[in-house]
Structure 1
Amino acid sequence: MRTKLSVCLRKTRFVSENAALLVAGRADVALRSYRCDRCGQFHLTSRTKGKRMPRPADPTP
């Protein structure tokens, strides 16, 4: 699905995925990064519909 230009312009842009993930790690909600097809940089989103999420790490040693 193509990102709407109005959405792209409202969101913070990150030059790298690592920079976006650093900010996402400080958030209170689960966020993931994605490369925008409009600006070519990375944005954050909380949407997960249709996306595979990594399984949580096994807490047992």
Structure 2
Amino acid sequence: MKTRPGICARKRRYSSEDEAIAAALGAQVTLRPYRCALCRDYHLTSRTKGMKSLPPRPATS
């Protein structure tokens, strides 16, 4: 995924993929992490084309 500089500057950065996955799993909408080619950190996106799936959310009782 190619991120433009203006988009990268507005998005939250996660230093590790695990941190980004944890944030994505806690969101109300489906999000996926990706490594940004500009800042080399991880961002979240709602786009799904060509992206790997996250593990299923744990069941809450």
Per the normalisation by structure 1, the TM-score is 0.78
Partner of 1:17: 17
Give the count of matched residue pairs: 56
Q: Cα RMSD over matched residues?
A: 1.9
Alignment CA distance shift 1:53-1:18 (3 Å): closer
Where has structure 1 moved over 4 Å in runs of 4 or more?
none
Per the normalisation by structure 2, the TM-score is 0.78
5+ unaligned residues in a row in structure 2: which ranges? 57-61
Following superposition, the deviation at residue 28 of structure 1 comes to 0.9
5+ unaligned residues in a row in structure 1: which ranges? 57-61
Paired with 2:50 and 2:42, the residues of 1 have a C-alpha distance of: 19
